[in-house]
Amino acid sequence: MSQDLTSLRYREEKFHGIDSQFITDGLRLVLFLPAFSLLFTFGAWAYNGESPEWWLDNIEPSVGFDLATCMILISTTILVGYCTGLHLHRHRVKLTRMVFRAEVDAAAEAHRPVTSMHGFSSVDGLISRTMASHSTALWMAIIATIISGIVAYLDSDSDISLRGLLASSSLVTMSIGQHLSTRNRKFNMVTDDGLLSAYSPPMHPSTLNLAFNDMLRTQMDPLLRSKFEDFLHDFESHLRKDVDREFSREKFLMLMHRRYKGSLDRNTTLIELAEILTDEGVNAIIEHEVFNEGLWDSLFDRSIHSNPAFYRLIERLEQDLAIGKKIDMDGLLFDVDLENIVTDKANLFCYFHNLSNDERQVVLRVHSPDFRPHDLSLRYDLHPGEELLWSEETVPMSSEGDDDVIGRMSGLLRDGTIAWQTLLPEGTGEASVSIRLENTSGDLLVGRQINVRVRPEFVNWLRNTSSLTSYLIGGIGLASSILFQLMSVLASA
Q: What is the mean pLDDT of residues 436-453?
A: 90
User: 288 in a domain, yes or no?
Assistant: no
Distance CA 254, CA 410 (A): 7
The pTM of the whole model exceeds 0.95: no
Please indicate, yes or no, if residue 210 is contained in any of the structural domains. Answer: no
* Torsion angles phi and psi, residue 439, rounded to 5: -85, 175
Q: In angstroms, how far is CA 261 from the centroid of its own chain?
A: 20
Q: What is the DSSP letter of 384?
A: P
In a domain, 431, yes or no: no
**Cα–Cα distance, 470 to 170 (Å, whole number):** 9
Residue 73 lies in a domain: yes
Distance CA 172, CA 477 (A): 11
Query: How many whole angstroms separate alpha carbon 300 and alpha carbon 431?
Result: 28
Cα–Cα distance measured from residue 193 to residue 205, given in angstroms and rounded to the nearest whole number: 22
Average pLDDT, the chain: 89
Asked whether residue 84 is domain-assigned, the answer is yes
Given a cut of 90, whether residue 36 has pLDDT beyond it is: yes
| pLDDT value of position 384 | 82
Alpha-carbon distance of 299 to 284, in angstroms, equals: 19
Confidence (pLDDT) at 458: 79
pLDDT at 3 over 70: no
Query: What's the confidence (pLDDT) of residue 355?
Result: 83
Mean pLDDT of 321-329: 81
180 closest CA partner among 123, 122, 127, 133: 133
Q: Is 245 part of any domain? A: no
Amino acid at 296: W
Q: Determine what percent of the chain is predicted with pLDDT higher than 70.
A: 98
The pLDDT assigned to 493 comes to 63
- Give the residue with greater pLDDT, 277 vs 396: 277
- The number of domains in the chain is 1
Q: Does residue 182 surpass a pLDDT of 80?
A: yes
CA-angle at 12, arms to 7 and 17, nearest 5° = 130
Is the separation of the CB atoms in 385 and 301 below 8 Å? no
3-class DSSP state of 433: strand
- Chain-centre distance for alpha carbon 304: 12
| pLDDT for residue 171 | 96
CB 334, CB 437: distance < 8 Å? yes
Higher-pLDDT residue of 384 and 478 is 478
Residue 322 has pLDDT above 60, yes or no: yes
Angle ∠(194,419,408) on CA atoms, nearest 5: 85
Of the chain, the percentage scoring pLDDT greater than 90 comes to 51
Residue 127 pLDDT > 70, yes or no?
A: yes
Three-state DSSP at 352 gives: strand
How many angstroms from the chain centroid is the CA of residue 18? Answer: 22
Q: How far is it, in rounded angstroms, from Cα 231 to Cα 275?
A: 19
Residue 393 pLDDT exceeds 80: no
Are 191 and 11 a contacting pair, CB within 8 Å? Answer: no
Q: Point out which residues pair with 447 in neighbouring strands.
A: 436
Range of the domain at 160: 3-190+461-492
77 falls within a domain = yes
Pairing of strands 444-454, 341-342: parallel
Residue 2: pLDDT above 70? no
Kindly state whether residue 268 falls inside one of the protein's structural domains: no
Band the pLDDT of 336: cuts 50, 70, 90.
Answer: very high
